Amino acid sequence: MATDVKIAARTIAPTNPATGEVLRQFECAGEAEVFGAVERARLARAGWTELGLRNRIAVLREFQARLFARKSEIAAAITREAGKPLVESLVTEVLVVLDAARFLIDNAFGLLRDEPVPHANLVTKLKNGSLLREPHGVIGIISPWNYPFSIPATETLAALVAGNAVVLKPSELTPLVALELDSLLHAAGVPEDVFQVIVGEGPAGAALLKSPIDKLVFTGSVTTGKRIAAAAAERLLPVVLELGGKDPMLVLDDADLDVASSAAVWGAFVNAGQACLSVERCYVQNSLYESFARACADKTARLRVGNGMDSHTDVGPMIQERQVRIVESHVEDARARGARVLVGGKRLPELGPNFYAPTVLADVTHDMRIMREETFGPVLPVMPFEQDDEAVQLANDSEYGLAASVWTREPKRGERMARRIHAGTVMVNDVVSCFGISEAPHGGVKASGVGRTHGRFGLDEMVRVKYLDSDRVPGMKKLWWHGYGESFRRQMEGFLDMQFARSLGTRMRGALRAAGIVRRKQL
């Protein structure tokens, strides 16, 4: 019977998207295995919490040291499984995680320790108040394939340092990178049951959502995020949802043409455009429009496309052929509706089935899918605008609101526009790098999700806040307890006058009326 079960088990085989090489084969975790992992995490979590914050920070310090020692090895593993150029694996993945660990090592104690709560109301002056930040328990994390190391690692480190256990379900396309994270954390001192990786497809993620976890952190599509939100609502499970974006780049008439065009090219084609923060819409003021589009096309044409393991490669393959088809359909829709293809716009079959040429489109409109749907591929669509107000309106004309950027030689002008853009992050004269700023929160508005990761607010997502109130005079009956009556009503009116009246005379008379409150008889 056991043999029959093993034969029936579904398997996955992650491959190198550049070469098609099968990297390893896994049996998908079933519901029983997922529930078992969560139960083990729940039992182990108490000991991890009791270890204490300072000791957990020490474990993070050891993790950081081990990751640094293996930085090149980890980067190579990321490139083999996700396809991105090796230098991007170092900069946008390994560096991000090293710095996230640094942030938590430096700040977790101050952010998580008990916080005194002052009481300004006179009636509560005889109390001591404190905010306690306690771990949720078991955090479930469902992470994507596009940043298979930095996304789950930053979320996991915050959860662990706060005292939680973590069960991570990585994308079925990139489980090997998650297992590298597993190895690093366990070697650093995280108990095996406190951090666990479950490998599988969608059903494994559904089982994790169904299991008795205490919070879920999900990064993925809007469609899946909505299903998760609906299922979580049934049991009031708290969630953090990062659901992608359609990030606009606004290039104003006084922007540095060379700098802004280089930013657009990098922001659109980093990780082959497979980044939730990538530049997916570019709006350029009319006076710069044609020269900007030409500069982007010229720079894009010089990009070297190939295997990410080649140090000369600028743009690697897409993760799988299905994603290439989405990009292809968006470009063909735009072409059919009148967009100009300045460069690219085609597959590169001589390199392999997952390669698509970095593409610059001009004369796009909001009637085209390329400007409304998340493309998640190496395409830079460029559209002109007249006035600043129009640019803001175009930027906000989207169901997404993850990030945006404004480009100008006048930072104050850029900041004024940034305040009007509906997004979780707006950068002035930079793109994408906000994800690597460990102190900054990451997350969006509208269909881009709810909640935040990274920084102080990301750490707050990993704890429950408890208010602790301790009375300084335990033998004293409280003034507001029973034993009411007309005199008590007048005394309390006087007490309110004493605290809140605007005129000094009214406040003094209120104090006289309230004076007898301490002598009244109570039950």
**One of 28, 276, 296, 434 is an active-site residue; which one?**
276
Q: Is the pLDDT of residue 429 over 90?
A: yes
Quick one: average pLDDT of 401-414? 98
* Res 6 pLDDT > 70: no
The H helix count followed by the E strand count for the chain is 18, 20
Report the distance separating Cα 305 and Cα 282, nearest Å.
22
pLDDT in tens, 310-363: 999 999 999 999 999 999 999 999 999 999 999 999 999 999 999 999 999 999
Among this protein's residues, is 28 annotated catalytic?
no
Average predicted confidence (pLDDT) for the chain? 96
Calculate mean pLDDT across residues 215-238. Answer: 97
- Residue with the larger pLDDT of the pair 219 and 521: 219
Q: Tell me: the pLDDT tens digits for 163-202?
A: 999 999 999 999 999 999 999 999 999 999 999 999 999 9
Our answer to whether residue 276 is catalytic in this structure is yes
Question: Mind listing the pLDDT tens digit for each residue in 267-293?
Answer: 999 999 999 999 999 999 999 999 999
Domains and CATH numbers, the chain: 31-243+457-466 (3.40.605.10), 247-438 (3.40.309.10), 477-519 (no CATH)
Residue 360 in 3-state DSSP?
A: strand
Q: Is residue 315 within 8 Å of residue 269, measured between CB atoms?
A: yes
Pairing verdict, β 400-401 and 115-117: unpaired
Average pLDDT of span 143-155: 98
What is the reported pLDDT for 125?
86
Catalytic residue among 242, 280, 328, 374: 242
If you average pLDDT over residues 2-7, what whole number do you get?
39
Model confidence pLDDT, tens digit, residues 31-57: 999 999 999 999 999 999 999 999 999
Look at residue 479 in the predicted model and tell me its pLDDT: 85
The answer, yes or no, to whether residue 493 has pLDDT greater than 70, is: yes
Q: Is 138 helix (H, G, I), strand (E, B) or coil?
A: strand
Do 12 and 28 touch, CB atoms closer than 8 A? yes
**Number of C-alpha atoms within 13 angstroms, CB side, residue 454?**
21
3 pLDDT higher than 70: no
Beta bridge partners of 404: 426
Quote the radius of gyration of the chain (alpha carbons, Å): 28
Closest by Cα among 94, 2, 116, 37 to 470: 116
Q: What is the pLDDT of residues 66-125, one digit of tens each?
A: 999 999 999 999 999 999 999 999 999 999 999 999 999 999 999 999 999 999 888 888
pLDDT at 476: 87
DSSP notation for 273-321: G--TTSEEEEEEEHHHHHHHHHHHHHHHHTPPBS-TTSTT-SB---S-H
- The percentage of the chain sitting over the pLDDT mark of 70, rounded to a whole number, equals 98
Is the Cα dihedral 263, 268, 272, 273 positive or negative? positive
Is residue 422 within 8 A of residue 217, CB to CB? The reply is no
